[in-house]
Amino acid sequence: MKKQILILVCILSYSFAFAQKTSYNITGKVIDKTSKEPLEYATIVLKNTKTNKISGGVTNSKGNFNVIAAKGVYDISIEFISFKTIHYKNRTIDKDLKLGTITLSEDAAVLDEVEIIAEKTTVDIRLDKKIYNVGKDMTVKGGSISDVLDNVPSVSVDVEGNVSLRGNENVRILIDGKPSSLVGLDGASALRQLPAEAIERVEVITSPSARYDAEGTAGILNIILRKGKITGFNGSINASAGNPTQYGVSANINYRTKKYNVFTNTGYNYRNGPGNSFNDVTYFDNNRNITGFLKEVRKNNRLREGYNSSFGIEYYLSQNSSILGNVVIRKSDGENTTANNVDFFDANKTIIDNRVRNENELSDSKSIQYSINYTNRLNDSGKKLTIDLQYSKSDQDENGTIFQNNIFIEDNITLRNSVRKLLQIDYVFPKEDGSQIELGYKADLDKTNSDYKNNPAIPYSNPKLDPSNNLDFEQNIYALYSQYGKKINRFSYLLGLRAELTEQNINLLTTNEVYNKSYAQLFPTVNLGYELSESTSFTLGYSKRLRRPRSWFLNPFESRSSETNIFKGNVDLDPTFTNSFDVGYLKKWDKVTLNSSVYYRHSTGIYQFISQERGDFVNGVPVIVRSPINLSSEDSYGFEFNTSYRVSRKVNFSGSFNFFGFETVGSFNGIDFGNKNTSWSTRFNAKVTLPGQIQWQTRVFYRGPQVNAQSTREGIASVNLAFSKDLWKDNGTLVLNVSDLLNSRKRKGYSYTPNSESYSEFQWRQRQVSLSFTYRFNQKKNQRQRRSQQNNDFDEGGEGFGK
């Protein structure tokens, strides 16, 4: 099968016919004369000496540019803020022009007079993704990566920490372009422990090219961590404290010379997160007559102490090649306490029993990741070879004790460990006609063991009811991809094909049962772009994606959240396949930017969680088992727009709106689980400079109600507020942040089974007030601030292409 995939990818080819050439490519690379570092967002300005018309472009993250110009005579200038401008006068353009490597030197006369403009989150639009530069978003200061993601347009994070993209929770989360142990065995929990200050930018990839994994039917979120690049010794230190009790400290430090760069990102945090939930259930017989009631009130408190550190060394073998070694360590200890008060009532609402259930869980999580990256920019035209090796190991231990009415009930011990190995090779080959070919291979090998032991005070009368189990899960994914792209005048395209072979081995050590699955698929991608003018552009994207079931979804043994609520995996669960279409529109005015999209997804074999009665009762209340199954199909669609309005240097507004809907078709055991629903979400962000140079930022978010086959969820609104003040000649910044000002971030909803209806409320954490202080040394607050512009382009695999 692997040979067949290799053949399919290797025979991938593209052929195109082009009209006679009427425009030409002006290419080159811009670097810092002192550090030899590429200058991103350097501006290339072309002035036609006959018409005085101005055109041009900017460099990408590697300093490369490719500007299209019609035949004529031009004055060309290369500019970058606080650097001396390079001029090329009266250049005749009647063929492609290669300017080579251009070195810019700092302009000492203006370096200390650079205008400090209002910091903001900027957006860079590429052909296959949107890049959100987090900047100095005050509302996430002292927060976590989850808080940052919840502030990114198109992305939302629910009260339990689950991340969704355009209303779909099947999102692939990468760290620096690869799966990472930083996400850990429990992704939602891990993202809450990593400090927001560690993030440089977030890439939202709703129409991934063939370079990216096919996993994630909604798309990919690629979190890029900060890595110091400035020459010399410099960095920043951040300290924060808040109520409910939280405090932390983090540091980003780097030392760079001409031959090497040493950097570290290290942090410690302690959090106390009180939360609560409420559940009110009504039970019926088969004739819908009420048989009883249950009322459950739960108070919980989560203590979490975490440490994370990333240390790396990049050695520059030559001007075009380097090798980077990186070690990432994450350790977390936690204690979760829950007091659960349950009242049972008969049909007349007379109380018949009360149970107070107390749970105490201690957890210990640690992971370590080693990675090596080799990059060789084989020439100045963009040819590049990249090789990545990664090894990571994660361990998570949980020990929970349950008492009911002060009587010991049971102990639960969970030991989980995972080992992941990754090899990735990418090769980019630009051609003389301006097109580009990219080839790559990836092997992602993951092995996880989960050992769960349940020790009840009273042994089970039926051994089949014992949920103790030991599971080995191994998943190996092998991938090959190829893609081809080119920009012809105002039209850009990027076509790709990815082949993935998945091998899954499931070994139920408790029962000596073994299940093996293997499947191979081709995943085509198409990304098209057209620039109607310098301020208006359109994009069209298509990609085929999949969602593989996680080991927890496949484990057929039961796990309990309470006496009457059980989760049970499905070993026969198959992957979901999705065909995604996306049409985008970008329009820029003088002070306003509008970025909008219409999208549609058709999925087959989708997961639906079905609740059924197990057949036994606890004090007359039926035990409900919830399991995932593959339903037949789902069609989802939506429309979103993001807009920003820069009123003045002191006032900025931005907002986003996402409307989405879906229709599910499918039945199980004769019950129709088909469903149709629409929902929406919106966020508004305002940033104002007050007298005394105090920055004021407000963010308002609302997610509309949702409905599925067995539940409904009410809308959620939240407000975040922040104030900041720069101190000590802009070397320090003090930020006061209030998260969930109205204490309204609660999940409320109803759920249904044939014999029950319930209403529930859940609040993960209460209103948070925090104060943080950042001190920078040997760097300015806006050091060499780059005037980010919005461009249609391919990403780093295609540097210098399409500008």
Q: Would you tell me how many other CB atoms lie within 10 Å of the CB of residue 190?
A: 27
Region 298-318: what's the mean pLDDT? 90
The answer, yes or no, to whether residue 136 has pLDDT greater than 60, is no
- Give all strands (DSSP E) within 49-167, no chain letters: 54-58, 64-70, 72-79, 86-93, 97-104, 122-125, 130-133, 155-157, 163-165
Q: Are strands 732-739 and 199-205 parallel, antiparallel or unpaired?
A: unpaired
- Residue type at 711 in one-letter notation: S
Distance CA 147, CA 140 (A): 6
Q: Is 555 exposed, middle or buried (0-12, 13-18, 19+ CB in 10 A)?
A: buried
pLDDT greater than 70 at residue 743: yes
- d(Cα 214, Cα 440) in Å, to the nearest integer? 14
Per mean pLDDT, which range of 81-90, 311-320, 525-534 is the poorest? 81-90
138 pLDDT band (50/70/90 cuts)? low
pLDDT band for 107, please (50, 70, 90 cuts). low
Task: Please tell me the predicted confidence (pLDDT) of residue 562.
Answer: 67
- In terms of average pLDDT, the best of 165-169, 197-201, 293-297 is 293-297
Share of the chain above pLDDT 90, in %: 35
pLDDT greater at residue 383 or residue 345 = 345
Q: 478-498, pLDDT tens digit by residue?
A: 999 999 998 888 898 999 999
Higher pLDDT: 42 or 309? It is 309
Please tell me which residue, 580 or 782, carries the higher pLDDT value.
Answer: 580
H or E segment to which residue 8 belongs:
helix 2-10
pLDDT band at 18 (very low <50, low <70, confident <90, very high): very low
- Residue 682 pLDDT greater than 70, yes or no: yes
Strand ordering across the sheet containing 43-48: 54-58, 43-48, 72-79, 86-93
Q: In this model, does residue 130 exceed pLDDT 60?
A: yes
Per-residue pLDDT, 417 = 93
Residue with tokens 């992957």, as numbered in its chain: 575
Rounded distance, CA 734 to CA 366, Å? Answer: 32
Query: CA triplet 299, 301, 307: central angle to 5 degrees?
Result: 160
Structure tokens at 74: 């031009």
Does the pLDDT of residue 332 top 60, yes or no? yes
pLDDT score of 182:
61
Q: Is the pLDDT of residue 115 over 60?
A: no
Q: Read out DSSP for 371-416?
A: EEEEEEE-STTS-EEEEEEEEEEEEEEEEEEEEETTEEEEEEEEEE
Burial readout 98-111 (b: 16 or more C-beta within 10 A, e: otherwise): ebeebebeeeeeee
The closest alpha carbon to 653, from 682, 681, 684, 683, belongs to 684
Q: What is the 3-state secondary structure (H, E, C) of 30-53?
A: EEECCCCCECCCCEEEEEECCCCC
Q: How far apart are CA 258 and CA 62, in angstroms?
A: 17
Pull the structure tokens for residue 24: 């030409």
Q: How far apart are the first and last CA of the chain?
A: 40
User: What is residue 608's predicted lDDT score, i.e. its pLDDT?
Assistant: 81
Question: Residue 552: which H helix or E strand, with range?
Answer: helix 551-554
**Three-state DSSP class for residue 671:** strand
CA pair distance 668, 607, nearest whole angstrom: 12
Q: Choose among 705, 709, 685: nearest CA to 697.
A: 685
Task: Report phi then psi at 11, rounded to 5.
Answer: -85, 0
Enumerate the H helices of 103-204 as residue ranges: 108-111, 145-149, 187-193
pLDDT computed for residue 385 by the predictor: 94
pLDDT tens string 642-678: 888 989 888 989 898 999 998 888 888 777 778 888 8
pLDDT in tens, 387-405: 999 999 999 999 999 998 8
Distance CA 222, CA 202 (A): 6
Flag the least confident range among 98-107, 453-462, 616-625, 637-646.
616-625
Predicted pLDDT of residue 221: 86
Looking at residue 795, its pLDDT comes to 43
Rounded CA gap, 382 and 101, in Å? 12
Mean pLDDT of 552-574: 81
Tokens of 767: 């209103």
**How buried is residue 172: exposed, middle or buried, by Cβ count under 10 Å (0-12/13-18/19+)?**
buried
pLDDT at position 758: 92
Instruction: Provide the token pair at 306.
Output: 């975490």
Instruction: Give residue 95's pLDDT.
Output: 87
In the prediction, which pLDDT does 124 show? 65
Q: Is the pLDDT of residue 227 over 80?
A: no
Query: How many CB atoms lie under 10 A from the CB of residue 398?
Result: 18
CB contact at 8 A, 603 and 636:
yes
Contacting residues for 550 by C-beta, under 8 A, at least 6 apart: none
In this model, does residue 14 exceed pLDDT 50? no
Q: What is the pLDDT of residue 123?
A: 60
Check residue 139 and report its DSSP letter.
Answer: G
Mean pLDDT, to the nearest integer, of 745-749? 89
State the pLDDT at residue 121.
44
Peptide bond into 244 cis (omega under 30): yes
Report the distance separating Cα 386 and Cα 796, nearest Å.
11
**Residue at token pair 């820029």:** 588
Residue-level pLDDT at 268: 92
What's residue 496's pLDDT? 95
Query: Which segment of 98-112, 248-262, 293-307, 405-419 scores lowest on mean pLDDT?
Result: 98-112
* Strand 711-713 to 747-753 pairing: antiparallel
pLDDT exceeds 90 at position 229? no
List 415's β-bridge partners, or say none: 397, 451
Q: What is the DSSP string of 161-182?
A: --EEETTB--EEEEETTB--TT
Q: DSSP for 695-746? A: EEEEEEEEE--EEETTEEE--EEEEEEEEEEEETTTTEEEEEEEESTTS---
HSE value, Cβ hemisphere, 13 Å, CA-based, for 616: 8
Model confidence at 137, pLDDT cuts 50, 70, 90, reads low
Question: Is the pLDDT reported for residue 782 higher than 70?
Answer: no
What mean pLDDT value characterizes the chain?
83
Written as one letter, the residue type at 358 is N
Instruction: Give mean pLDDT, residues 163-175.
Output: 80
Residues 6+ apart with CB under 8 A from 648: none
Mean pLDDT of 108-125: 43
DSSP category for residue 127? S
| pLDDT reading at 635 higher than 80 | yes
Report whether pLDDT(430) > 90: no
Span of 398-402, 585-589, 738-742, 791-795 with lowest mean pLDDT: 791-795
- Check if the beta carbon of residue 527 is closer than 8 Å to that of residue 205: no
Strands 607-618 and 592-604, by their bridges, are: unpaired
Q: What pLDDT digit, counting tens, does each position of 441-464 carry?
A: 999 999 999 999 989 898 888 887
Which pLDDT band, with edges at 50, 70 and 90, does 564 fall under?
confident
Q: Give the residue, 61 or 442, on which the prediction is more confident.
A: 442
Strands 621-630 and 351-377 come out as unpaired
User: What is the spatial distance between Cα 64 and Cα 1, in angstroms, rounded to a whole number?
Assistant: 40
Structure tokens at 13: 């080819």
- Residue 585 pLDDT greater than 50, yes or no: yes
